[in-house]
Structures are given as structure tokens and as C-alpha cells.
Amino acid sequence: MPEISVIVPVYQAEKFVEKCVESVKNQTFSDWELLLVDDGCTDGSPALCDRFAAEDDRVRVFHRKKNGGVSAARNLALEEAKGSWIAFLDADDRYEPEFLQTMYGLCREAGADTAACAHLNFWADGTERPELALPAGMYDAAGIRERIVGPLLGDRLTQPVFNGFIWRFLFSRQLLRRAHITFEGAYLEDELFLLEYFCHAQKLAVTDRPLYRYFNNPASATHKYMPSFMRVFSRFMERKEALAKKYALDGLRPQWRENSNWAGLLIAIGNEYARGNAKTVRQKQKTVQEICARPEMARAIQTLTPEGMTPNKQMVARLVKGRHFFTLTQMYRLKNRI
């Protein structure tokens, strides 16, 4: 049985997946299996995945006839995984050669049920920027609750925001199965996965070495207009509410609902003014006003004044609180032209 199962959802990734797989095969730690989930690809990805499996018996491929989304792909792989530990990798990203060895060593040496690393953001023009998960060191259950659970629950505005990147962690498969933790949804699904996982984790070992290379892909879902964003976000908040109740989290961040709704509102506004939205300018402005009038958003706008955000987001928040929707629309028109 392999020690580590690496899970990679694959969708229309023929330009990237070979380097992704190579980064796993080039690991200094060799006791792994790689689970590639072809999520209904219509490009050359399925054939590439089959070739990788034929070349290395540690690679297993699962073909789905229809695209079911990243959560369904990961859940399928979690059911099939044989390793004691679970690692995630996106098809357009790469591991540094010592990712698995370092993360596995951190868990074994410290008796931790989770390890985390920094990562390197990189762009197509060659720009690179490292980003920490947390300062290096050991975190007990109380430290995990304060430094991860609290921020994921209700610190979604003040910079730096703790991002829900699952791929910079090594997870205990035993813990995941015991707590029945899975994914749901196509957006923000990783935040809820991490939130629930760290309600159970007792010890976390962190290195500040950037061992994961994250490609800021302009073609990814986070850069596209999402017509169903508010429906997706509403479901996200329903699930977050259920987790807060299940794990008695309300006292950890008393205004977590307002904070989370403000964060979602700012994303919704940016999404509505995205270039891919075919609505007229007037329709976009009307939709933004309707979103702001939703009871949960109106309550957040009325009771919480966001602070510590980037200058652009701070400006948007001020315009929203002042109900200056025409000015907000003109600002986004100018931004998109630039």
C-alpha cells in the first residue's frame, strides 16, 4: 500500500498535465500513488492520462463520461485512495521535487496529523511570488483553532486573507474517513473542506519553504464570469452555517456571517461587472443593487464596516455603503477598459 495518495482532477488540461505528472514522478519520495480523474475531458487529456498509467504502475486513471466538477472528481479519488496520507495537486500546477518527502517527514517526525508548506505563485510572463500558509513551526489544537479555523470562518476581508488552498497541506486519510469529510460545489469548496478538517486536526507542522508551484491561470474558473455565482454562494453559506452549528464556532468570530457575506458581496460585484457578462451596463447595475438588497447582504452592509482590505476593495465597499451605484458602475467600466 502506498504511503501517500496524490489526487489530480483533470479537465481540458492537455497543455499542462504532462508537466504536472512529471513533477510527481520526479519526487525524492517514491512511495506514492497518483490518481488522475479525467472529468469528462473532450481534449487530449484522457489519452495522456492513459499513457502515464501505462508508463508507471503507480499511476491510476479514472474516466468520467460527463464533466461533474472538481468536487465530484476529488470525492471519487478519495474513495479510491489507498494511501495513509492524501495530497492534492491541480492539473496546471506542479510540486517541487521535495514536496512529498518534506511534508511526510514533518508529520512523522512531529507526530502531526497534518503538514503545510508555503507556495510559489507564478504567472505566464515569468513573474514569481512566494506566499506563506502560516509561519513555520508547530501548532496544537488551540493554535489551529485560532490561526486557521477562526480565519476561515470569519476573517475573510482584512489582508492577508488565509486562503483555502488545499494543495499546500498533507492530510490524514484516517481523519478524513473518520469524520466523513468530502467536497461539495464548484467554488469555495476548498474553504469548507479545510474548515471542517481543522475542526478535527490536533497537531499541524508547518514549513516556510515554498514547495508547491501555483500557476495563476487566466483560463481558470476563478477568472471567468459565473452566472450562477449567487446561487453557489448561498449554498456555500448554508453549509458554513451548518458547520458553525455542528462545531459550536459562533463564539470564535461573533460577526462571521456579516464578514463572510461582505466577502461574497465583493466577489459578486466583481463577477457582475466581468467582461464575460453579456448584460447591458444598466442591467449590471440593477443586478448589483438587487444583490445588495438581499436581507443577508443588507444586514452585513448595515452592521459591519470592512477594514484592512486592498485600496480597490475598500473603495468598492465605501461606494456600496453609500449606495453610490452609478459611480461604482462607472468605476468598473473604466477598470475594464484599462
Across all residues in the chain, what is the average pLDDT? Answer: 95
Residue 275 lies in a domain: yes
What does pTM read for this prediction?
0.94
For residues 91 and 218, give the distance between their C-alpha atoms in angstroms, rounded to a whole number.
14
- Which residue, of 167, 190, 215, is where some domain finishes? 215
Residue 314 lies in a domain: yes
Task: For residues 100 and 184, state if they share a domain.
Answer: yes
The predicted pLDDT at position 227 comes to 94
The predicted pLDDT at position 146 comes to 96
Distances (CA, A) of 50 to 9, 91, 134, 205: 14, 15, 37, 35
pLDDT digits (tens, 9 = 90+) for 122-149: 998 889 999 999 999 999 999 999 999 9
Q: Are 124 and 174 in contact (CB under 8 A)?
A: no
Q: Which string of DSSP letters, residue by residue, matches 256-313? A: HHHHHHHHHHHHHHHHHTSTT--S-HHHHHHHHHHHHHSHHHHHHHHH----S--HHH
Task: For residues 209 and 282, state if they share a domain.
Answer: no
Residue 119 lies in a domain: yes
Q: Are 249 and 243 in contact (CB under 8 A)?
A: yes
Task: For residues 176 and 40, state if they share a domain.
Answer: yes
Task: For residues 296 and 155, state if they share a domain.
Answer: no
Task: For residues 154 and 42, state if they share a domain.
Answer: yes
Residue 244 lies in a domain: no
71's grid cell: 468536487
- Which residue, of 215, 241, 270, is where some domain finishes? 215
Task: For residues 178 and 62, state if they share a domain.
Answer: yes
Task: For residues 201 and 283, state if they share a domain.
Answer: no
CA dihedral 103, 104, 105, 111 (to 10 degrees): 110
Task: For residues 194 and 300, state if they share a domain.
Answer: no
pLDDT digits (tens, 9 = 90+) for 267-318: 999 999 998 899 999 999 999 999 999 999 999 999 999 999 999 999 999 9
Task: For residues 45 and 135, state if they share a domain.
Answer: yes
For residues 170 and 147, give the distance between their C-alpha atoms in angstroms, rounded to a whole number.
17
Instruction: Show the domain range for 41.
Output: 4-215
Name the domain count of the chain: 2
pLDDT digits (tens, 9 = 90+) for 158-178: 999 999 999 999 999 999 999
The predicted pLDDT at position 220 comes to 58
For residues 236 and 152, give the distance between their C-alpha atoms in angstroms, rounded to a whole number.
13
Instruction: Using pLDDT thresholds of 50, 70 and 90, give the confidence band for residue 10.
Output: very high
pLDDT digits (tens, 9 = 90+) for 43-63: 999 999 999 999 999 999 999
pLDDT digits (tens, 9 = 90+) for 230-267: 999 999 999 999 999 999 999 999 999 999 999 999 99
Residue 239 lies in a domain: no
Task: For residues 23 and 155, state if they share a domain.
Answer: yes
Residue 171 three-state SS = strand
Provide CB contacts within 8 A for 314, sequence distance 6+.
306
Residue 59 lies in a domain: yes
Give residue 301's Cα distance to chain centre: 25
Task: For residues 206 and 133, state if they share a domain.
Answer: yes
Task: Return the H-helix or E-strand segment holding 106.
Answer: helix 99-110
Residue 187 lies in a domain: yes
Residue 327 lies in a domain: yes
Task: For residues 53 and 189, state if they share a domain.
Answer: yes
